[in-house]
């Protein structure tokens, strides 16, 4: 996925991106988060500004919670 420096990226963008990474790499949400943080943010929260980083964290928390709910249903 291509990112632009023009504005804040949304939580839904990051949910989609993290899902794409998890599917493509067959990995957990934690591994996808680490990969995305390294690749997108270059290990720096402020690469795209704190507003975008907060949306990234919200997406991660949402997906992390969804995974825990699925475990509880089994």
pTM value is 0.81
Tens of pLDDT, residues 6-27: 578 899 999 999 999 999 999 9
Task: State the Cα–Cα distance between residues 40 and 71, nearest whole angstrom.
Answer: 29
Q: For residue 20, what is the DSSP state?
A: H
Half-sphere exposure at residue 43, Cβ-oriented, CA atoms within 13 angstroms:
0
At 46-74, the pLDDT tens digits run 988 899 999 999 999 999 987 655 544 44
CA–CA dist 25, 41 (Å, integer):
19
DSSP letter at 17 equals: H
Structure tokens that stand for 68 in this block = 């825990």
């Amino acid at each position: 996925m291509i990112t632009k420096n023009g504005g804040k990226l949304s939580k839904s963008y990051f949910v989609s991106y993290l899902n794409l990474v998890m599917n493509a790499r067959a990995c957990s949400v934690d591994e996808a988060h680490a990969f995305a943080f390294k690749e997108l943010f270059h290990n720096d929260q402020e690469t795209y500004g704190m507003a975008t980083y907060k949306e990234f964290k919200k997406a991660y928390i949402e997906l992390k919670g969804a995974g825990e709910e699925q475990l509880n249903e089994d």
